[in-house]
Amino acid sequence: MTLEQVIFILVSFLTLGTGIVVVTNRNLFHAALAMMASFLGVAGLYILLDAGFLAAAQLLVYIGAISILIIFAIMLTRRMMQAREASFNSQSGLGLFTAVATFALLAAVIGQFWWGVDAFNGRPDVPDTVLQNTVSSLGKAFVSPEAYVVPFIVASVLLLAALIGAIYVAWPTVHAEDEA
């Protein structure tokens, strides 16, 4: 088993495990943090598939924008800033493991690019003709009638309906006592 296969298995377990935590956790803030970790796992899978553009888009759009927006909305609506919690952290072991694993991954990547240590040696070479114009062909596929234009429009209508529903739910109601 190569190092790349081991990393794939670990990233897959991270993605699936945090996805399960998202749907089973009753604490909304912890579920949102698990969702961010799940999005990070998906970005890791994109990196393993040599889809750097999709990985960057995953990091910027989903983790950098949508997840942070969800966490801000939770913090502003749930009055979490007033909660009285313990001043110590009981997850120091998990933090240490995460720090060591991140350091090991960064050391392997830096070693591969700067010193020529090939930690990812089980991967076949991809010809340059396969990787040419991948971003432009993806963009053309999004607007082509034969490819993804219908799912793209359906997703935009669904997001518009969700936005209208969120505005309707958040709109303040006027009671009869308030008018008098």
Task: Read off the pLDDT of residues 49-102 as tens digits, 9 standing for 90 and up.
Answer: 888 888 888 888 888 888 888 888 877 776 544 555 565 667 778 888 988 998
Residue 118 placed within a domain: no
Q: With pLDDT > 90 as the criterion, what percentage of the chain qualifies?
A: 17
Residue 88 placed within a domain: no
CA 178 to chain centre: 44
pLDDT at 115: 66
Give the mean pLDDT of the chain. Answer: 80
What value, to the nearest 5°, has the Cα angle with vertex 46 and ends 27 and 98? 50
pLDDT at 128: 76
Contacts of residue 134, defined as CB under 8 A and 6 or more positions apart, other chains included, come to 53
CA distance 125 to 122: 10
To 10 degrees, what angle do helices 3-24 and 28-48 make?
Answer: 160
Residue 49 placed within a domain: yes
Domain that holds residue 147: 132-174+176-180
* C-beta atoms surrounding 34 within 10 Å: 20
CA distance 60 to 68: 11
Residue 4 placed within a domain: yes
Q: Choose the final residue of a domain: 48, 81, 114.
A: 81
The stretches in the chain having pLDDT less than 70 are 78-89, 113-124, 175-180
CATH number at residue 47: 1.20.120.1200
pTM > 0.85: yes or no: no
